[in-house]
Amino acid sequence: MLRARRNPPSNVFPADPWGLGAVHFDTDLFLGYVGQAETMFALSNGYLGIRGTMDEGQPIEEPGTYLNGFYETRPITYGESAYGFPDSGQSMLTCPDGTLMRLTIDDEPFDLARAEVLEFSRRLDLARGVLTRNVTWRTARGRRFTLRTTRLVSLVMKHIAAIDWELVPDDDVDLVISSELIERAPLPVQEFDPRLAEAPDRSVLCRTGASADGCAQY
């Protein structure tokens, strides 16, 4: 099956010699390129890889946090067996996702696709290996906020990823910031694409425990 080539609009994704960037936010265009943007803004160091999802978790198409060598072995069945056919295969698994940062302001959750976005920019700096995003929006109550985030996957300590998260309000405000660690369900595999590995029909991770010690107040 042939797929039509889709070129990202140049007014949203301009040419950049040392990076990939989005300089404009349009809800319809953005929702049409969610999966492509997750691929474009992905970070990896050869051991740890994170797709370029939004910190708020929405909108989302194909999230993924991966570790090199973290996979599930599965049996391979054939209609007829023959010499040299492997009897097992490996499917790469998504690890629990710790990039999710939910924000609620005056009981209003921040949702980029529904917010009144005033300014927006996002850039993957290929020279420094960091993903930055600046977004300014107005809430339903007329409050103005600016959120600046920086995400990286360390090239020195390859098991480390980090997010720098800065919120600038226009005045005193009641807000809730929730950093979450979630397990992503396996994505369905498109049966017509023979390049893709078979996905598990259920979660193969075994949760051994969870705990939390209160919350921080600001």
CATH number at residue 65: 2.70.98.40
- Please tell me which residue, 202 or 161, carries the higher pLDDT value: 161
Please state, in angstroms and as integers, the Cα–Cα distance from residue 94 to each residue in 75, 155, 180, following that order: 19, 20, 16
Whether residue 137 lies inside any domain: the answer is: yes
Over 70: is that where the pLDDT of 11 sits?
A: no
Q: What is the rounded CA–CA span in Å between residue 37 and residue 31? A: 10
Whether residue 188 lies inside any domain: the answer is: no
Per-residue pLDDT band at 218 (split at 50, 70, 90)? very low
Domain residue limits at 94: 19-182
Whether residue 81 lies inside any domain: the answer is: yes
Whether residue 136 lies inside any domain: the answer is: yes
Whether residue 205 lies inside any domain: the answer is: no
Overall average pLDDT of the 24-29 stretch: 73
Q: Contact 64/51 with Cβ under 8 angstroms? A: yes
118 half-sphere exposure, CB direction, 13 A CA radius: 10
Q: What three-state secondary structure class fits 74?
A: strand
Q: What three-state secondary structure class fits 101?
A: strand
Structure tokens at 40: 């474009």
Per-residue pLDDT band at 16 (split at 50, 70, 90)? confident
Q: Contact 98/65 with Cβ under 8 angstroms? A: yes
Give the tens place of pLDDT for each residue, 123-134.
999 989 999 999
Over 90: is that where the pLDDT of 192 sits?
A: no
Whether residue 7 lies inside any domain: the answer is: no
Residue with tokens 């194909």: 62
Per-residue pLDDT band at 59 (split at 50, 70, 90)? confident
Whether residue 11 lies inside any domain: the answer is: no
Overall average pLDDT of the 185-197 stretch: 56
Whether residue 215 lies inside any domain: the answer is: no
Q: What is the rounded CA–CA span in Å between residue 35 and residue 97? A: 17
Q: Total structural domains in the chain?
A: 1
CA-based nearest residue to 215, from 189, 181, 176: 176
Q: Contact 148/133 with Cβ under 8 angstroms? A: yes
Q: What percent of the chain is modeled with pLDDT above 70?
A: 80
Over 80: is that where the pLDDT of 116 sits?
A: yes
How much of the chain is helix, strand and coil, in % rounded to 5?
Answer: 5, 35, 60
